[in-house]
Chains A and B, each alone.
Chain A
Amino acid sequence: DVKVTQSSRYLVKRTGEKVFLECVQDMDHENMFWYRQDPGLGLRLIYFSYDVKMKEKGDIPEGYSVSREKKERFSLILESASTNQTSMYLCASSLSSSGSFTDEQFFGPGTRLTVL
């Protein structure tokens, strides 16, 4: 059974803290994605990666960075958390290489982050 797991379901952090959100997939997928979900805005892409150590900016990369040291793991980093980064963060993966977005994406359960 395909699986994308995220390190935390709920997280509360303080303004200015460095925050790490971890995502692991066990499907040997090439592509991994980080989205944030906000009411009325749908899902917006923060970053994606199509290979180990490769990353590409999405629509809203400001205030975030990512790391992909191993194929199965994709981390999202908030360098200095701010209250406007309070959101639901969803990780996803897909099989296709070369950064294709035309395949089905498999999603993790999400991390609801609150920044106080």
Chain B
Amino acid sequence: AQKVTQAQTEISVVEKEDVTLDCVYETRDTTYYLFWYKQPPSGELVFLIRRNSFDEQNEISGRYSWNFQKSTSSFNFTITASQVVDSAVYFCALSVRGAQKLVFGQGTRLTINP
């Protein structure tokens, strides 16, 4: 069975602080995909990144970076120099090839205060 845990239910920081959202996953499969989605107040989930299990390189996109570590089954997301527009609920998700499902974590509500 697959499982995704986002232990941080809510995080609140002041603008310009760096913030890391944790994601821990469980699967016995060797081929799998990890995702991060952002859900702003408007409601629709926006895709941020997909990473497959064979690619452990860290990814950086502007102020966003992702740290994938198979040794700890984690796929953490860091926002550098946070901005108010980063306020949203962030979901981590896991898909295993051949299994017809995308398993979501519970989500982390991030609030950036001016």
**Hey, which bits of chain A sit against chain B, CB under 8 A?**
4, 9, 40-45, 48, 56, 58-59, 88, 90, 92, 99-110
Interface size on B, as a range, is 20 to 34
- Check B100 against A56 for contact (C-beta < 8 Å): yes
A42 and B104: CB pair below 8 A?
yes
7 A-B pairs with least C-beta separation: A42-B104, A107-B45, A110-B43, A43-B104, A101-B95, A109-B44, A109-B43
- Asked if B101 CB lies within 8 Å of chain A CBs, one says yes
Q: CB distance A104 to B50 under 8 Å?
A: yes
B residues lining the A interface (CB < 8 Å): 4, 9, 33, 35, 37, 42-47, 50, 91, 95, 97, 99-102, 104-107
Closest CB in chain B relative to A109 CB, distance in Å = 4
- A42-B105, A42-B107 known; A101-B44 Cβ under 8 A: no
Shortest Cβ distance from A92 into B: residue: B45
Residues of B within 8 A of A40 (CB): 9, 106
In the complex, the answer to whether A104 meets B106 with C-beta atoms within 8 Å is no
Task: Say yes or no: A90 contacts B45, CB within 8 Å.
Answer: yes
B100 touches A105 (CB 8 A): no
Contacting residues, chain A, for B50 (C-beta < 8 A): 103-104
CA distance A102 to B104 in the complex (A): 13
- B101:A58 contact, CB within 8 angstroms: yes
Q: With A43-B91, A90-B45, A110-B44 given, is the CB distance from A105 to B102 under 8 Å?
A: yes
Q: Do residues A59 and B95 form an inter-chain contact, with CB atoms below 8 A? A: no
Q: Would you mind naming 12 contact pairs between A and B with Cβ atoms under 8 Å apart? A: A42-B107, A43-B91, A59-B101, A88-B43, A101-B95, A101-B99, A101-B101, A101-B102, A102-B95, A105-B47, A107-B45, A110-B44
